[in-house]
Amino acid sequence: MKFLIAGLGNIGPEYELTRHNIGFLTLDRLADTHKLTFKTSRLADKAEMRYKGKQIHFIKPNTYMNLSGKAIMYWLNELKIPKENLLVVVDDIALPFGVLRMRAHGSNAGHNGLTNIEEMMGGRDYARLRMGIGNNYSKGQQVDFVLGNFEGEEFKALPAFMDKAAEAILAFCTIGVERAMNLHNTKARQ
């Protein structure tokens, strides 16, 4: 059984450690842990591995965030992977930093990458792993916040957060979206 995991982000060194790139960062962390190498391919940097009998393909679209759907559709078709086996890893300002929320489908919540995927796929019926980056910004400063780098305590906590997300990704591939949601969705700290 084959799976496609798409981590969203923007290409280029100026975006590398930004909050908006948490999808890229998480797939890089997973690749480091499992000794995988991303190679530039058509519309994305791509890596793959076998895990518990599953063939998992990872992509980081190099189309920029707002055109992520183009790369995802290309690789779903190229690899003949059904959309039920697609998981999109994405930042979410509606969730506090450190909170994971996996869903089998849902709205784009105004996220440009998810909006483009929805347009390209003709609907919202695909799984996503939302990674909370918080919303600690003043009115009118959202773009600066999401395109800003992780700092301070968040930067220190980032590796453990990405490791939790990587566990959720592998669970999606091995035990399915519903059980992965039950095991890995986290609540905000009170």
Q: In this predicted model, what pLDDT tens digit does every residue of 71-81 receive, in sequence order?
A: 999 999 999 99
Residue 97 has pLDDT above 70, yes or no: yes
Sorted by where each begins, the domain ranges of the chain are 2-184
Q: Are 122 and 62 in contact (CB under 8 A)?
A: no
Residue 190 has pLDDT above 50, yes or no: no
CATH 3.40.50.1470 correct for 2-184: yes
Q: What is the pLDDT of residue 189?
A: 56
Virtual CA dihedral for 184, 67, 14, 31, nearest 10 degrees? 40
Residue 114 has pLDDT above 60, yes or no: yes
Tokens of 185: 């969705």
Dihedral (CA of 123, 179, 172, 95) sign: positive
Which pLDDT band holds residue 109 (cuts at 50, 70, 90)?
Answer: confident
Which residues are part of the catalytic machinery? 20
Tokens of 40: 């530039």
For range 88-111, the mean pLDDT? 92
CA 182 to CA 56: how far, in whole Å? 21
For range 97-108, the mean pLDDT? 92
Give the closest residue to 148 by CA, choosing from 26, 60, 20: 20
**Model-level pTM?**
0.94
pLDDT tens per residue across span 80-92: 999 999 999 999 9
